[in-house]
């Protein structure tokens, strides 16, 4: 629609295409709720006040809220394809997400990023991308690609690519590593997201000086306060595995309101279906005592301003008509969703009207593993008797781990799992170049008394990871993942109890949200027959490779002491 027509409609000289009448506007610009018609034409809001239109929808006193924006998410972690993810979160009032596709980038490089961009077209939400900055996440992981500044630069010319995604290699930035600084330089004036857990003092000053504007790894008020003082925008994470809101919310005051935003980071399909998306975060914030208007602002206007999305984030003339209609403000219950003036969801059902315009995008196979034998998972003892070993300690609801030293008695020259002490064996198998790399170790916290669980979702390099009580089941689980070209499985006595194929890069399903959820429910039920005690054992398993969040992790290269940022021996000498 041309500008003259829009102006004529705004001035009342012509009727609008659509008028939302008898609604209460959630105004995040003035932090108030007021009445008024919302006139829409050409996909945009053209007026607020009293208007006539070709179509008039009486909202019966419901709230007209800006569509929600998730400022940092990895869509791959939902386990859904981009179109299926978009349909699901659209029903919850989400208008846009800013995704870092570094999961698929670690598997397929820039081909994976372009796949995500192509898959996002003709979806009921806007999918913006931050170019992945750390592929691989660290030098201690073997990934399927290695992205340099030269690889990133062409991506930044795409209008849907907003800037540079989380710079996880904070030691590299602080030390002045040339490759890290080159990536920051090519981003220019675009937003650069951070990832700097517990970074403080002069090191944090160096990190901020490099141009990094946000952080989503704060887990305490003190940590967030220091970063806030140095000019960073704080992303409050409330996702599937990490829950930081309760600790950080006291810092959100009227004076600092514009410096915070809500994000999910990682949230799988089960939680999205059961809890919701950004609407769940708003509900959670309100339940913790936050003003509903402030909570909604952190999920709308603030991320829009940080990322320069001037057409989103508020109900005001000139903005895109991306709106969530709520019948309850505090419960953030979404009844209708408009995207650029088009009704895309109602009463929890998405209208996928653009599906016919989407084209299929084919990806190559991503599971390339050297031939495996059962003896590849054997851990040789250095000597007879008792050996002291480093042990990874899983923490419920946390991305970081603890580290401990435990005594393991050698049996027939080997170190084995000890289910009675909650000591499982863990292995990470390189799956990109068929190098044969296998990292072996021990982990506590899964509570398995039998069998093994395995996954090809293994942040961030996404090699194969398996935890189990015996070598037979560990081997059987890994072989099964190779056969199904990636996914999850639970195994006992050499038999597969349940599996979930993830044929898209070994990360995402090609099924609907409901079908995938049913598969996952069966998988978790099977895993719990092994007496596992974690709520999301496969999600916990998937983060044990992440060598940029402490304290002890494991990759295909071996154990990584994240605090020292160095490989360490399994057996303590």
Residue written as token pair 């991306």 = 322
Strands 333-339 and 342-346 turn out to be antiparallel
Report the alpha-carbon distance of residue 402 to residue 551 in Å, rounded.
6
DSSP H or E segment with residue 39: strand 37-41
Q: Is residue 542 a contact partner of residue 268, using CB atoms and an 8 Å limit?
A: no
DSSP H or E segment with residue 162: strand 161-167
394 burial (CB, 10 Å; 0-12 / 13-18 / 19+) is buried
pLDDT for 548 equals 82
Task: Give the per-residue SS3 of 44-75.
Answer: EEEEEECCCEEEEEECCCCEEEECEEEEEECH
Question: Residue 465, CB half-sphere, CA atoms under 13 Å: how many?
Answer: 32
Q: Give me 573's structure tokens.
A: 């000498």
Q: What is the DSSP letter of 93?
A: T
- Name the 3-class secondary structure at 566: strand
Domain 71-304: CATH superfamily, name plus number: Metal-dependent hydrolases (3.20.20.140)
pLDDT for 377 equals 96
pLDDT for 240 equals 82
Q: In 10 A of CB 506, how many CB atoms? A: 30
Residue written as token pair 């170790």 = 441
Question: Exposed e or buried b for every residue in 461-484, given b needs 16+ CB within 10 A?
Answer: bbbbbbbbbbbbbbbbbbbbbbeb
- Name the 3-class secondary structure at 546: coil
Task: Give the per-residue SS3 of 241-269.
Answer: CCECHHHHHHHCCCCCHHHEEEECECCCH
Q: Residue 35: what are its φ and ψ, rounded to 5°?
A: -90, 160
pLDDT average per 10 residues of sequence, the chain (573 residues): 94 97 97 97 96 97 98 97 97 98 96 96 96 90 94 97 95 95 97 96 98 96 98 95 92 96 95 97 97 98 98 98 97 97 96 74 87 94 90 87 93 93 97 96 96 95 97 97 97 97 96 97 94 87 88 95 91 89
Q: Is residue 424 a contact partner of residue 443, using CB atoms and an 8 Å limit?
A: yes
Question: Residue 45, CB half-sphere, CA atoms under 13 Å: how many?
Answer: 27
Q: Give me 540's structure tokens.
A: 């916990």
Detail the DSSP E strand segments found in 252-322: 260-263
Q: How long, in residues, is the chain?
A: 573
Residue spans per domain, the chain:
71-304, 374-568
Q: What angle do CA 70, 75, 80 make, to 5 degrees?
A: 130
Q: Is residue 471 a contact partner of residue 378, using CB atoms and an 8 Å limit?
A: yes
């Amino acid at each position: 629609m041309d500008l003259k027509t829009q102006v004529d409609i705004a001035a009342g000289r012509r009727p609008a295409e659509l008028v939302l009448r008898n609604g209460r506007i959630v105004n995040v610009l003035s932090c108030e709720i007021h009445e008024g018609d919302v006139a829409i034409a050409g996909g945009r809001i053209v007026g607020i006040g009293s208007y006539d239109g070709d179509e008039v929808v009486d909202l019966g006193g419901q709230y007209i809220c800006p569509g929600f924006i998730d400022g940092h998410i990895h869509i791959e972690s939902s386990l859904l394809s981009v179109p299926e993810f978009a349909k699901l979160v659209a029903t919850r009032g989400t208008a846009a997400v800013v995704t870092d596709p570094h999961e698929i980038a670690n598997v397929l490089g820039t081909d994976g990023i372009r796949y995500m961009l192509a898959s996002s077209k003709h979806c009921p939400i806007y999918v913006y991308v931050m170019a992945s900055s750390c592929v691989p996440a660290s030098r201690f992981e073997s990934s399927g690609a290695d992205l340099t500044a030269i690889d990133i630069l062409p991506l930044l010319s795409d209008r849907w690519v907003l800037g540079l995604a989380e710079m996880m290699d904070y030691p590299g930035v602080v030390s002045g590593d040339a490759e890290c600084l080159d990536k920051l330089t090519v981003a220019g004036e675009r937003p650069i997201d951070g990832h700097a857990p517990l970074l403080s003092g002069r090191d944090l000053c160096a990190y901020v000086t490099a141009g990094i504007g946000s952080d989503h790894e704060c887990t305490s008020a003190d940590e967030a306060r220091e970063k806030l003082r140095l000019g960073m925008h704080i992303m409050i994470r409330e996702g599937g595995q990490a829950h930081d809101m309760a600790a950080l919310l006291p810092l959100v005051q009227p004076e600092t309101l514009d410096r915070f935003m809500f994000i999910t980071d990682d949230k799988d399909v089960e939680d999205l279906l059961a809890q919701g998306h950004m609407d769940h975060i708003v509900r959670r914030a309100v339940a913790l005592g936050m003003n509903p208007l402030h909570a909604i602002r952190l999920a709308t206007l603030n991320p829009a301003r940080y990322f320069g999305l001037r057409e989103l984030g508020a109900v005001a003339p000139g903005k895109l008509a991306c709106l969530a209609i709520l019948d309850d403000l505090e419960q953030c219950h979404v009844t209708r969703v408009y995207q650029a003036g088009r009704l895309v969801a109602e009463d929890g059902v998405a209208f996928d009207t653009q599906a016919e315009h989407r084209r299929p995008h084919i990806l190559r196979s991503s599971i390339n593993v050297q031939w495996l034998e059962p003896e590849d998972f054997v851990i040789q003892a250095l000597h007879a008797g008792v050996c002291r070993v480093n042990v990874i300690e899983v923490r419920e609801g946390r991305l970081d781990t603890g580290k401990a030293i435990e005594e393991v008695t050698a049996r027939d020259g080997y170190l084995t799992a000890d289910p009675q002490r909650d000591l499982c064996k863990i292995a990470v198998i390189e799956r990109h170049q068929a190098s044969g790399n296998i990292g072996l170790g021990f982990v506590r916290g899964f509570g398995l008394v039998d069998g093994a669980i395995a996954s090809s979702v293994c942040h961030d390099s996404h090699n194969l990871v398996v935890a189990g009580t015996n070598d037979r089941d560990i081997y059987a689980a890994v072989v099964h993942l190779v056969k199904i070209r990636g996914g999850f499985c639970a195994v006992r006595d050499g038999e597969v109890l349940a599996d979930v194929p993830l044929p898209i890069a070994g990360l995402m399903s090609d099924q609907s949200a409901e079908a995938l959820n049913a598969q996952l429910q069966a998988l978790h039920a099977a895993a719990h027959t092994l007496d596992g005690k974690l709520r999301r054992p496969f999600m916990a398993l998937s983060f044990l490779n992440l060598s940029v969040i402490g304290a002890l992790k494991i990759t295909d290269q071996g154990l990584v002491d994240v605090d020292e940022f160095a490989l360490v021996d399994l057996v303590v000498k």
